[in-house]
Chains A and B, each alone.
Chain A
């Protein structure tokens, strides 16, 4: 079972995660089918910016984060923004959408000028997240755990970050055991997705370069 304190932490994180999301009117724009390459580029850039702003607002709610060294806060966010973005996007592609929406979104991404070698791993990742049928709680916790990775470049106070990350990992571990009693490997699988995210993150800078050139 979750202790009272852990339950409170979980509720708090989930509420913050649900509250801080991309503005709906921007998300709606994505579904308008009329777009040329330039509009597409601008919209995806705007979305990415909004993603980061929302991520920062969510992160400010993580207990203890604001007490970390200010430059460490930036290093953590900078190191995790891309991974958190992929995690959030994965939700869009795995949630049941009204008919045709997923196809429009996928088409928009495929026509964005990003080369196929980067697109394929991205959709493979979305698929592997979809297979886990993650709950909102798992998404919120996994995002918080990703942000609180002590081994990001330029983080000085690694132990302070670890002290914030560990309770999140423990809540996620227990939550998985409660929700998936017949799947003892579920927690390990979730953590495995973090490794996949690292790979996507690693290729992201390369992807940006190729996109800009295109």
Chain B
């Protein structure tokens, strides 16, 4: 669902350690 796209993005970034972005 579209509502989850943002969520997955945030998770992927945070998992890679790019919290600052």
Q: Give the B-binding residues of A (Cβ under 8 A).
A: 49, 52-53, 56-57, 60, 70, 73-74, 77-78, 81, 205, 208-209
Taking CB as reference atom, which chain A residue is nearest B4?
Answer: A78
Taking CB as reference atom, which chain B residue is nearest A81?
Answer: B7
Contact flag A81-B11 (CB < 8 Å), given A53-B19, A57-B19: yes
Interface size class of chain B, counting residues whose CB lies under 8 Å from the partner chain: 10 to 19
6 additional A-B pairs beyond A52-B11, A209-B3, beta carbons within 8 Å, are: A52-B7, A52-B14, A56-B11, A57-B19, A78-B7, A78-B8
- Which of A78, A205, A208, A209 lies in contact with B11, CB distance below 8 A? A78
B7 → chain A, closest Cβ, in Å?
Answer: 6
B4 / chain A contacts, CB cutoff of 8 Å? 78, 205
B6 → chain A, closest Cβ, in Å?
Answer: 8
Query: How many pairs of residues, A versus B, come closer than 8 Å at their CB atoms?
Result: 34
User: Is A53 a contact of B3 with CB atoms below 8 Å?
Assistant: no
Q: Sample 27 A-B pairs with CB under 8 A, ordered by A number.
A: A49-B10, A52-B7, A52-B10, A53-B10, A53-B14, A53-B19, A56-B10, A56-B11, A56-B15, A57-B14, A57-B19, A60-B15, A70-B15, A74-B8, A74-B11, A74-B12, A74-B15, A77-B11, A78-B4, A78-B7, A78-B8, A81-B7, A81-B11, A205-B1, A205-B3, A208-B3, A209-B3
Q: Give the A-binding residues of B (Cβ under 8 A).
A: 1, 3-4, 7-8, 10-12, 14-15, 19
Max chain B C-beta neighbours (<10 A), residue from A53, A56, A70: A56
Complex Cα gap A60–B1 (Å): 25
A52 / chain B contacts, CB cutoff of 8 Å? 7, 10-11, 14
